[in-house]
Structure 1
Amino acid sequence: MAKKTEGRLVNRAELAEILGISLPTVNAWVKDKMPVVRPGTRGTEWQFDTAAVIQWREERAKHAADGKLNDLEAIEKETALVKLERERLKFAKEAELVVPLDQLERRLSVVFAEVRTSLRNIPKRTASLLVGETDERIFTKTLLEEIDRTLTALSEFNTNALDENLDADQPNGAE
């Protein structure tokens, strides 16, 4: 038995034209459970009851308006979460669990400069050891030992001592 219609029966294109929407919007609404009198198949057009579709849209709009109260609650929850996160960050700073970005950048620039200098000095430190050497294995072994020495020295590099020196370089009031 066919459903009783209160509005006009229309196909997808007519519905789109009546409501001033695009065909992709009609398709999206169908996926969102918009009422359909008859789904389209090969050779058969979709059929919609305009009154049922308009009522469905009104109910969705009403539900969305009711949801605005929920949106206020969501905003209040989000605000509370932001405040909590600020408190956590404040605690982390006081406990020195975090480092200000500018301080980290200063430390990294000094460390990278040290890495660059150390790596660029490898040829100077190995040249006298490798002069006249023709054995590739000795070349490789010597260079790897020097690289390992350099990396070990860099791993022991004390970045904590940098803080006082770097902070002293900052203008008054800067951190």
Structure 2
Amino acid sequence: MAKNSGGKLVNRQELAEILGVSLPTVTAWVRQKMPYVQRGSQGVDWQFDTAAVIQWRADRAADAAGGVLDSADEIERQIALVQLEHARLKFARDAALVVPVDQLERRLSIVFAEIRTAMRNIPSRTAAMLLGETSERQFKKVLSEEIDRALTALSEYDTNLLDESLEDDQSEQPE
């Protein structure tokens, strides 16, 4: 329980509205030791000091941010950590352990286009086989075989060709 530190005294609903959060969020914050002036109970509203709550939230945000860089030594340490992470990422990229996001997006868009084409071709490939067919079982069999054929072809799709074309694109971009 906190004493009033000069902010406006509000209940749970008003606090939620002021902060733009839901009532369950306010309840969760209380469980996380958010300060209050009066604990609510049956027939008695919770009371919160808005100034104390805002200060509590600011303190938590500062803690989550890891504090400030107070000294030159701390700044140098953070710079060294960033440089180390950069070196690790460069090693992982050079060792082909990671793929740049833009390269992955291009590769996926090509593969998805192939999937779309293969699936859209199923009706034209099966229409003649199913013409005049009345057996549901035969329909399912023919369609399943065509879907399996399309998926097998996609699984055998040579992504090495994609790798080479994407590497050419990547080598044209400056680092």
> Which TM-score tier does this pair reach, normalised by the shorter chain?
0.5 to 0.7
Superposed CA offset, 1:66-124 (max 9, x none) = xx788557666544433332121011011011112222122112111111110010011
1:108 aligns with: 108
Q: How does 1:11-160 map to 2 (within 5 A)?
A: 15-16=4-5, 20-23=6-9, 72=71, 78-160=78-160
- Aligned mates of 1:152, 1:105 — CA distance in 2: 23
Cα 1:134–1:71 shift into 2, 3 Å: farther
- Aligned mates of 2:161, 2:95 — CA distance in 1: 19
Across the aligned residues of Structure 1 and Structure 2, the Cα RMSD in angstroms comes to 3.6
Cα 1:78–1:130 shift into 2, 3 Å: same
Q: Secondary structure at the match of 1:126?
A: helix
Structure 1: unaligned runs, 5 residues or longer: 1-11, 34-38, 43-67
Superposed CA offset, 1:114-157 (max 9, x none) = 11110010011111111110000110111011101111111111
2:172 aligns with: 173
- Matching residue's letter, 2:137: R
Cα 1:81–1:167 shift into 2, 3 Å: closer
Q: What is the TM-score when the length of structure 2 is the normalising length?
A: 0.55
- Rg (Cα) greater in structure: 1
2:55 aligns with: none
Cα 1:171–1:91 shift into 2, 3 Å: closer
Q: How big is the shift at 1:165?
A: 3.3
Q: What is the TM-score when the length of structure 1 is the normalising length?
A: 0.55
Q: How big is the shift at 1:172?
A: 8.1
Structure 2: unaligned runs, 5 residues or longer: 11-29, 42-66
- Aligned mates of 1:94, 1:40 — CA distance in 2: 58
Length, aligned pairs only: 123
- Aligned mates of 2:120, 2:88 — CA distance in 1: 43
Tell me which stretches of 4 or more aligned residues in structure 1 moved more than 3 Å: 39-42, 68-81, 165-168
Cα 1:172–1:32 shift into 2, 3 Å: closer
Cα 1:76–1:131 shift into 2, 3 Å: same
Deviates more, 1:155-164 or 1:129-138: 155-164
- Aligned mates of 2:126, 2:115 — CA distance in 1: 17
